[in-house]
Each structure stands twice: as structure tokens, then as C-alpha cells.
Chain A
Amino acid sequence: MRRETILNFSLLGLLFLFPLWAWVADEPFLITLATRAVIFAIAGVGLNLALGFGGLVSFGHALFFGLGGYAMGILAHHAQTYVPMFTWPFVIEGTTSMPIIWLTAIAVSALVALGVGALSLRTSGVYFIMITLAFAQMFYYFAISWSAYGGEDGLSIYVRNEFPGLNTMDPIQFYAICYVILLVMLFFVFRLSRSSFGLMLGAARQNEDRVQALGQVPYRMYLTAFVISGAITGLAGALFADLNRFVSPVMFDWHTSGEIMIFVILGGVGRVLGPVAGAALFILLEHSLGGVSDYWHIYLGAILLGVVLFARGGLFGLIAGREVAHD
């Protein structure tokens, strides 16, 4: 077996066994920590599709993370206060059903990604980075000034939303939901990367002109990848808001974009499970360094700097080598 495959399975196994152990040992805090890691991993899997496979350096994925969060917050808020969202032209009630919230988060994120992507992809390179950042900031300021849904203070909901047949307030059951979603997303992205679309996308990243000469339109492929990428990150946002039972403009903040990017980079760009390793590592660092110093971001910054300067390829690059070089 290739080392990358071994690493993949041991990561997934670890994320399966660790919460189970925490559950048996009655450590709900550790389960919540693992849930955070898994949700961050889903967000990273989303970004990785655009960044790793499509080469689109989006510095604005907090936009979709936040949209997912607000989709959850707004729907649940209306359901819990029994105020319909719209009364005209027809009545739309809020909901506390997770599947409906997820679908809404995915749909809204995909729709916004379509608009933002269509505009941003007219440019490339450094312009693209700055424009995606700016669009995310636009939603950040909008969320702050939108007082109907809490403005700067955000929106909290009292009870976690419902999933048929499960008690979502039980940490291990909510973890199970997130874990299964992560597996589904990983499988989806894995299949996508092996499909003709995924291969063509990789080709476009490496040489746009040749792909164009083959009669394909890179713009359309990038846009498709960007939309799917945004939708997955949006789903992660809905889960994250449900985990905290709270959503605030911070989810739109550009530090969030940076952190999602860090998950991808720490793990290894362009590896299917890279974001999973990165998110787990990030949570591990946050937990262990956060205990050492209140100013743990200094160490995070130093580690990130070290990875960028000296260990490109992240954790996967260090352990599995560059045998499946993507570029």
C-alpha cells in the first residue's frame, strides 16, 4: 500500500476511535473538540477542491462558511420564535430540521458562489485572491449592519436542530452525523477528482492553453469547481453554527478564510485527505498551545511560516513524500 493510503486510513480510523474512546471515558469536551476538527475538515475539503484541484486561490471561503451558518441561524430562529420568514407571496416558515437546513445552506452557498465566481473568475492570479477576499468582507459588513438578525452580536438558538431518529444534543450522536457527512464529502471529492471533469480541471490548472486547445472552456470548469467548493464549505458552516448553537459575523471574517486555508496547507494541498489532517493538526495545536500561552497565535503564525518556507506539501508531504506530485 502507498504511504498516502496508509495515512488516509489511519487518519479516518483515528477520527473514528478517538471520539469513541472519549465517549467511553465520559469526556464530552474532547468529543466536541473532535467535532470541531471534523467540521473544519469539511470546510477544508470544500476549499481544497477549488484551491488544490482547480488552483483557484480563494481567500474568501469564509463567505460560504458564514452563509451556511446564517442559513442555520435564520431558519432556526424563525422556527423557534414561531415567526414566519415571509408572509408574502406565500408563507415560508422556519425549520429546525437539519436535512432541510443543510439543503438550504448548500443551495444558498452554491448560488452566491455562482455570482461571486462568475465575477471573480474574470480575473486571475493576485486579483482573484483580493476579489474573493473583498466579497467575503462585503458580506461581513452586511451581516454586522443587518440588525434584524442580531447585527454584530450574532444570533443564538436555544436547542440544537433536529435530525430524525437521533438526539443531536448528545455530543457523540452529533459527532456521528458530522463524521458521516465528512466521509460522504471525501468520497464525493475523491470520485470527482478521478472523473473526466476532475482530470480536465487538473489539466486546466497546469496548462490552461492546452485545455482550451482541446475544445474545453476553462472558465466554465473553474466556475463549476468554485460553486461545488462553496457549497461544501457552506454545509460545513451550517454544521459549525449548529455545534455552537450560535452564529455571528465572525464566521464571515477574513481570519476565518485564512484559517480554512491553513487547514488545507497544513495538511497538504491537493491531497484528498489533506484538509482532514490539517484541521486535526490545527485543533491539536489550538488545544495544546492554547494551554501554554494566551498568545498561542504567535506560535501558530511561526509554525505556518515554517511550513510555507520549508515544508511545502504540509503533513502529507512530510510523511507520504511527493510520490503523487500534483504539479
Chain B
Amino acid sequence: MSSILLIEQALNGLQFGVMLFLMAAGLTLIFGVMGLINLAHGSLFMIGAFAAATVAAATGSFLLALAASLAAAAVAGVIVEVVVIRRLYDRDHLDQVLATFALILIFSEGTRWVFGSFPLFLDRPDWLSGSVMLPFGIRYSLYRLAIILVGLAVAAALFLMISRTRIGIQIRAGENDREMIGALGVNISLLYTLVFALGAALAGFAGALIGAIQSVQVGMGEPVLILAFVVIVIGGIGSIKGAFIGSILVGMTDTLGRSLLPALFGLFMDPAAATSVGASLASMSIYILMAGVLLFRPKGLFGGT
């Protein structure tokens, strides 16, 4: 395998990791601040993608579609938080898992009801299609490069928001002591709704960006959701930094594993068997990574003790 192909795969891994971060950041924030495990986060991802596909089909504008994905997911997040999630903060994790699993059933079937079972398509805009020349003679898809840059920018903005702004201070305080910041006059239930809406908007945004690479269909959020779980388990639940590092690790491992492992096994096996064994192992690689991390750090890389 040539080094150019390797760099291209590494960029793909980075792009995948950055997208995972948008999902994982919301999950880990919601868990860190409210102590809630939210399985329905994948549904918000899906809602973002469907909103983007619908608006893009109606207006033809990709930027409007992105804005719609943010808005739709945030609004869905607020509704869900106010109607259901709010009642779950004091419950144990089992109840949270079940209730949010029920939400997935409702969202998935509801979307199938409205949009049908056939996938929708979200085209990337003309000004982002084609490829771009990077240093060292590497050609790379402009759209994927844009995703990486946008994702990194969002990550940076999120870090700044958490560490520098007033709302970030409240979020961090909420992670440490919920009763205390309530006593200090912060409107807790508003803060919770805001955090949930923020997480939802990030998930919906990721859904729209990914929707232009894959097809937009019911259930598209679930594989991403489970990977995002792996990410925050590796990174340590509640830690944004952990979510970022975990995302990049998982994205890289998955993408490079898929391209490298079959080639690696091809060195000492016949090609057909190498492809099959390599593909099987590659699909398991991130879970092996997770098991390895847990063996040494049961609370994840950046989890508290």
C-alpha cells in the first residue's frame, strides 16, 4: 500500500472521528451535567439528516439545509426534554435506557410513517464537490476536507464555550454539584433544556453532514450512536476532552483497520481468506480497543475516579 493511499485513509479516519465527536460531545455533556444516558441521541442525528434532505430538496440550498438540521434537531430535543426526559433525571439508568429506547421506537417508526422506507438523498453542493490538491501530491475530496475543518472548528468553539463563557461555567458547575448551582440562583431546568438542545443540535448537524456522504434513511443514527458510546466509554464519560481523543482514536482505528488489516493478512494468507479474516477483524477492532482501554483504565482515559 502506497503512502499516499495511507494518508488518504488517515484523513478519512480523521473525518469519521470528527463526526463521531459531534455525536459523542452531546452524549457526554448530557451525561455529565444531567446524569442521563440518552439512547435517543441517534434519533436526533436522523432528524437532522431528514430535515436537511427535505429543505435541500425544497430550496436547493445546502447552507439552508444545514441550518434546518440544526434547528429541527434542537427543537426536537427541546420537545423531548420537556415532555419526557425531564422526568427521568432522578430515575435509575435502567429506566432511562428503557424510556429512551421507547423514544427510538417512536421516532424511527414515526419517520418511516412520514417519509416511507426508501432512503432520501442529500446532494453535496457544487461548490464543495470535486477534489482538492493537498501538499505531497495528495488528491482528497473537498467535501470531506470541509467536514474535517468544520468539525474541528465546532470542537474548538465548544471547548471555548465550556471553558470561557458564563454558560460554560454553569455547565461545569452543574457537573460538580447540581443542588449548589440551583441554590446560587441558576435556573437549573432551563440550563438542562439548553444543554439538551445543544447536544441535539450537534447530533442533527452531524446527521446532515453525514447524510450527504451516505443516504438519509431510518435507523441511520443507530450505528453512529453505538460508536459514540464506545467513544465516550474510551474517553471517560462526562469529559469533552476524552470524547475528542476517543473520537479520533475510534475513527482512525476503524478506518485504518478496514484498509490495513486485509492487506496485512494478505502478506501470509491467500487473498480471499485474507480479505475475509481482515474484514472480520477490522469490524471488531474498535471493540477490542475499548476492551483494551478498560482493562487498564476502567473509567476511561479521562474519566474521574
Question: Are A122 and B298 neighbours in the complex by a CB distance under 8 Å?
Answer: yes
The residue from B97, B108, B112, B279 contacting A261, defined by CB atoms under 8 A apart: B97
Residue of B whose beta carbon sits closest to that of A261: B98
Question: Are A297 and B97 neighbours in the complex by a CB distance under 8 Å?
Answer: no
The residue from B113, B222, B237 contacting A126, defined by CB atoms under 8 A apart: B237
Q: Is B229 an interface residue (CB 8 A)?
A: yes
In the complex, chain A residues whose CB is within 8 Å of the CB of B290:
131, 134
Chain B 288-304 interface residues, beta-carbon cutoff 8 Å to A? 288, 290-291, 294-295, 298-300
Shortest Cβ distance from A150 into chain B, in angstroms?
A: 13
> Contacts A57-B93, A127-B298, A145-B276: A297 and B284 contacting too (C-beta < 8 A)?
no
Question: Are B226 and A133 neighbours in the complex by a CB distance under 8 Å?
Answer: yes
The residue from B106, B110, B229 contacting A134, defined by CB atoms under 8 A apart: B229
Number of interface residues, chain A, beta carbon within 8 A: 42
Q: Which stretch in A69-77, A90-98, A162-170, A301-309 binds the other chain?
A: A301-309
Question: Are A305 and B106 neighbours in the complex by a CB distance under 8 Å?
Answer: yes
The residue from B37, B84, B110, B113 contacting A309, defined by CB atoms under 8 A apart: B84
Question: Are B106 and A119 neighbours in the complex by a CB distance under 8 Å?
Answer: no
In the complex, chain B residues whose CB is within 8 Å of the CB of A261:
97-98, 101
Q: Is B233 an interface residue (CB 8 A)?
A: yes
Shortest Cβ distance from B28 into chain A, in angstroms?
A: 11
Residue of B whose beta carbon sits closest to that of A309: B87
Q: Is B146 an interface residue (CB 8 A)?
A: no
In the complex, chain A residues whose CB is within 8 Å of the CB of B279:
145
In the complex, chain B residues whose CB is within 8 Å of the CB of A14:
none
In the complex, chain B residues whose CB is within 8 Å of the CB of A262:
98, 101
Q: How large is the interface on B (under 10, 10 to 19, 20 to 34, 35 or more residues)?
A: 35 or more
A228-263 interface code vs B (CB 8 A; 1 in, 0 out): 000000000000000000000000001000100110
The residue from A131, A133, A138 contacting B284, defined by CB atoms under 8 A apart: A138
> Contacts A123-B298, A142-B280, A144-B283: A305 and B226 contacting too (C-beta < 8 A)?
no
The residue from A119, A147, A296, A298 contacting B291, defined by CB atoms under 8 A apart: A119
In the complex, chain B residues whose CB is within 8 Å of the CB of A59:
97
Q: Is A130 an interface residue (CB 8 A)?
A: yes
Question: Are A146 and B98 neighbours in the complex by a CB distance under 8 Å?
Answer: no
Residue of A whose beta carbon sits closest to that of B280: A145
Q: Is A300 an interface residue (CB 8 A)?
A: yes
Shortest Cβ distance from A306 into chain B, in angstroms?
A: 9
CA distance A127 to B31 in the complex (A): 11
Shortest Cβ distance from B231 into chain A, in angstroms?
A: 10
Q: Is A51 an interface residue (CB 8 A)?
A: yes
In the complex, chain A residues whose CB is within 8 Å of the CB of B22:
none
Question: Are B37 and A126 neighbours in the complex by a CB distance under 8 Å?
Answer: yes
Chain A 144-164 interface residues, beta-carbon cutoff 8 Å to B? 144-148
Question: Are A134 and B98 neighbours in the complex by a CB distance under 8 Å?
Answer: no
The residue from B98, B229, B288 contacting A308, defined by CB atoms under 8 A apart: B98
The residue from A122, A134, A300 contacting B287, defined by CB atoms under 8 A apart: A134
> Contacts A127-B299, A308-B99: A134 and B226 contacting too (C-beta < 8 A)?
yes
Question: Are A57 and B106 neighbours in the complex by a CB distance under 8 Å?
Answer: no
A292-321 interface code vs B (CB 8 A; 1 in, 0 out): 000111101110110011001000000000
Q: Is A84 an interface residue (CB 8 A)?
A: no
Q: Is A49 an interface residue (CB 8 A)?
A: no
Question: Are B226 and A137 neighbours in the complex by a CB distance under 8 Å?
Answer: yes
CA distance A141 to B285 in the complex (A): 10
In the complex, chain B residues whose CB is within 8 Å of the CB of A258:
101
Question: Are A301 and B287 neighbours in the complex by a CB distance under 8 Å?
Answer: no
Chain B 197-243 interface residues, beta-carbon cutoff 8 Å to A? 222, 226, 229-230, 232-233, 237
B92-130 interface code vs A (CB 8 A; 1 in, 0 out): 011101110111111011101100000000000000000
CA distance A133 to B229 in the complex (A): 9
In the complex, chain B residues whose CB is within 8 Å of the CB of A298:
105-106, 109-110, 113
Q: Is A99 an interface residue (CB 8 A)?
A: no
Residue of B whose beta carbon sits closest to that of A266: B98
CA distance A258 to B93 in the complex (A): 14
Question: Are B37 and A137 neighbours in the complex by a CB distance under 8 Å?
Answer: no
Residue of B whose beta carbon sits closest to that of A298: B109
Shortest Cβ distance from A217 into chain B, in angstroms?
A: 17
The residue from B105, B233, B298 contacting A300, defined by CB atoms under 8 A apart: B105
Q: Is A129 an interface residue (CB 8 A)?
A: yes
Per CB-CB distance, the 4 closest pairs between chain A and chain B, nearest first, are A301-B105, A138-B287, A141-B283, A301-B106
Using a CB–CB cutoff of 8 Å, the interface residues on chain A facing chain B are 51, 57, 59, 119, 122-123, 125-127, 129-131, 133-135, 137-138, 141-142, 144-148, 254, 258, 261-262, 265, 269, 295-298, 300-302, 304-305, 308-309, 312
Using a CB–CB cutoff of 8 Å, the interface residues on chain B facing chain A are 31, 37, 84, 87, 91, 93-95, 97-99, 101-106, 108-110, 112-113, 222, 226, 229-230, 232-233, 237, 276, 279-280, 283-284, 287-288, 290-291, 294-295, 298-300
Excluding A138-B284, A298-B105, 9 further A-B contacts by CB distance (< 8 Å) are A134-B290, A141-B284, A262-B101, A265-B94, A295-B110, A298-B113, A301-B106, A304-B99, A309-B87
